[in-house]
Structure 1
Amino acid sequence: MTGPWNTATPAVITLPSGRRIRGRGRRHGLPEGQPPTPAVHLTGRRPPAPPWESLWIPWRDFWLPADPGEAMRTLRTAYDRAGDERVEVCCGGGVGRTGTALSALCVVEGMNPEEAVTWVRRNHHPRAVEVPWQRRFVRQVAGTAGPGRP
């Protein structure tokens, strides 16, 4: 264990549960400060391996994960680890796919899907969850999260 994110680290948001996750765009470069301990890459092609652990969810820009069930299993693993590790979620620009993943994690915490998207737009990026099918994905997560299941 390495400890969670410092709240002053750029691009780190604190979910309603208190877990901290950094959401960012890979093309904007690595922010200063602490490195992630696992990073979840939401990209169409497997990215080059960073010097820390990385998990990959095949997910093309403006689309949905290639395997939504596997994507949610990976995101739940990242969510569980965010309690005591520095988890990062990133895509190319840090807006659509990253915002969708962060919204899905808010649904896992118990938010309704619309509230989750609004919360992520307020706390991460105002254009997060860019296309209608990404919003539909967040709604579908609500149907599989199960009552009381973070």
Structure 2
Amino acid sequence: MGAAWEPGGAGVLALPSGRLVRGRSLRALPPGPPPQFALYLAARPVAPAQWESRWLRWLDFRLPADPGAVADALREAWQRAATERVEIACAGGLGRTGTALACLAVLDGVPPGEAVAFVRERYARRAVETAGQRRFVRRFGGLATNDPSVAE
């Protein structure tokens, strides 16, 4: 994993598989190398980055506008994190970013009912801000496997 983030770096979450993903606020770019791939979770498109990125429409304190697109993007981010520096960011770096990181943890094998606690212990104690976001994480296992009964 030569291209990975440094363990213990600002906002870096170590998943059980050893993949490292950085979560952050869109307000400031942390020091260090830039990401190689990023997911930006915001109500409006963010300014183009100097690296490959995807924007997903996701309003603050809400659930994603297109849960299926989020599941696809998170699967891509998880796969790419095996060999690339991947980051996930929203305005504050807690609610939407924490929710997405918890979903990545589910993809990495953390049971859906434990993923929020996993991210709060290892990324930010206030991550995943709303009850709806917590429910989204618990149901994400089915969404990630394209189970249509999961989407609200």
TM-score by length of 2: 0.90
Name the CA distance, whole Å, in 2 between partners of 1:92 and 1:144: 24
Sequence identity, in percent?
50
Bigger Cα displacement from structure 2, 112-121 vs 86-95: 112-121
Q: Counterparts in 2 of 1:127-138, with a 5 A limit?
A: 127-138=126-137
1:114 alignment partner AA: G
Name the CA distance, whole Å, in 1 between partners of 2:75 and 2:63: 17
| 1:109 Cα deviation from its structure 2 partner | 1.6
Note if contact 1:2-1:86 (Cα within 8 Å) is conserved in structure 2: no
What residue number does 2:149 align with?
A: none
1:102 alignment partner AA: L
What residue number does 1:24 align with?
A: 24
Encode CA deviations 1:28-84: one digit per residue, 9 max, x unaligned: x11101100111101110000011111111101000110001111001101100000
Note if contact 2:72-2:144 (Cα within 8 Å) is conserved in structure 1: no
Consecutive unaligned residues of structure 2, counting only runs of 5 or more, are 146-152
Q: How many pairs align?
A: 145
Note if contact 1:104-1:116 (Cα within 8 Å) is conserved in structure 2: yes
What residue number does 1:109 align with?
A: 108
Q: Counterparts in 2 of 1:1-150, with a 5 A limit?
A: 3-27=3-27, 29-146=28-145
Bigger Cα displacement from structure 2, 91-100 vs 111-120: 111-120
Displaced runs of 4+ in structure 1, greater than 4 A? none
| 1:86 Cα deviation from its structure 2 partner | 0.3
2:6 alignment partner AA: N
1:13 alignment partner AA: L
Consecutive unaligned residues of structure 1, counting only runs of 5 or more, are none
TM-score by length of 1: 0.91
